[in-house]
Chains A and B, each alone.
Chain A
Amino acid sequence: KQEVTQIPAALSVPEGENLVLNCSFTDSAIYNLQWFRQDPGKGLTSLLLIQSSQREQTSGRLNASLDKSSGRSTLYIAASQPGDSATYLCAVRLTGGGSYIPTFGRGTSLIVHP
């Protein structure tokens, strides 16, 4: 069974800092990994999707990397802003079976204060 762990569980930083959020998974036979953002009481917004053959993906101030062999992904947020405050979730899909059901971690709750 795939287990996904996110560290740290919570993070509070001043505006402008560069951040690294970590996601680790136990089964390296993944199809892809997806990072999401969730605002309080809301649904999930997709940030980045990394296929198993890729090493990283970038979107604006966000960069996600993937190391399948070590079972890790990191989400790098450059020059953090108060509007980045949210919970960040990673989800992993395994190969095989055809259902590609995402398995989620518990998330990292981020607060960026002015």
Chain B
Amino acid sequence: DTGVSQDPRHKITKRGQNVTFRCDPISEHNRLYWYRQTLGQGPEFLTYFQNEAQLEKSRLLSDRFSAERPKGSFSTLEIQRTEQGDSAMYLCASSPPGNTEAFFGQGTRLTVV
């Protein structure tokens, strides 16, 4: 499968714990986006990477959230001290150079109990 891959698909964690999600974009895609989606809503933008540089961050990305894309390949999204309000689907998308069409992964469903 050469699509965008996200791991894990599901995560249940206790409030206050830290969690980390991984996204592997399509090979040679230089743009990578993270979104959060809650039930009945559209995806909300969190952060954007071009290669290894994090170029934009939403105000939704509080100081408990951090994202990295070392070497411009896979990306990780970490949430520290999780809260119940963090429960959502976290989606990753990538786009190739010279083309803005976005390809999404299957998402990571986070449940904070």
A contact residues vs B (CB 8 Å cutoff): 4, 6, 31-32, 34, 36, 41-46, 49, 89, 91, 93, 98-107
**Which residues on the B side are within 8 Å of A31 (C-beta)?**
100
Binding stretch for chain A, among B14-22, B63-71, B105-113:
B105-113
Question: CA separation between A46 and B96, bound complex, in Å?
Answer: 14
Count how many pairs of residues, one from A and one from B, have CB atoms less than 8 Å apart in the complex.
59
7 CB < 8 A contacts A-B:
A41-B89, A43-B105, A44-B43, A46-B102, A93-B100, A100-B95, A103-B45
Q: Among the listed B42, B50, B101, which residue makes an inter-chain contact with A49, where contact means beta carbons less than 8 Å apart?
A: B101
Tell me, in angstroms, the Cα distance from A91 to B91 when the chains sit together: 14
Using CB atoms, name the residue of chain A closest to B40.
A106
Contact A101 B101, CB 8 Å, known A89-B42, A106-B41: no
Interface residues of B (CB under 8 A from A): 4, 6, 31, 33, 35, 40-45, 48, 50, 55-56, 89, 91, 93, 95, 100-107, 109
Q: A43, B42: Cβ atoms under 8 Å?
A: no
CA A41 – CA B108 in complex, angstroms? 10
Alpha-carbon distance between A72 and B28 when the two chains are bound, in angstroms: 33
Given contacts A101-B33, A102-B45, 16 further A-B contacts (CB under 8 A): A31-B100, A34-B102, A41-B109, A44-B43, A44-B104, A46-B101, A49-B101, A91-B102, A98-B50, A99-B31, A99-B55, A99-B56, A100-B31, A100-B95, A101-B48, A104-B43
Interface centre among B44, B89, B95, B101 (most CB of A within 10 A): B101
The residue of chain A having its C-beta at the shortest distance from the C-beta of B105 within the complex is A43
Q: Which of A31, A45, A99, A105: most chain B Cβ within 10 A?
A: A99
Q: Which of A34, A44, A93, A100 contacts B91 (CB 8 A)?
A: A44
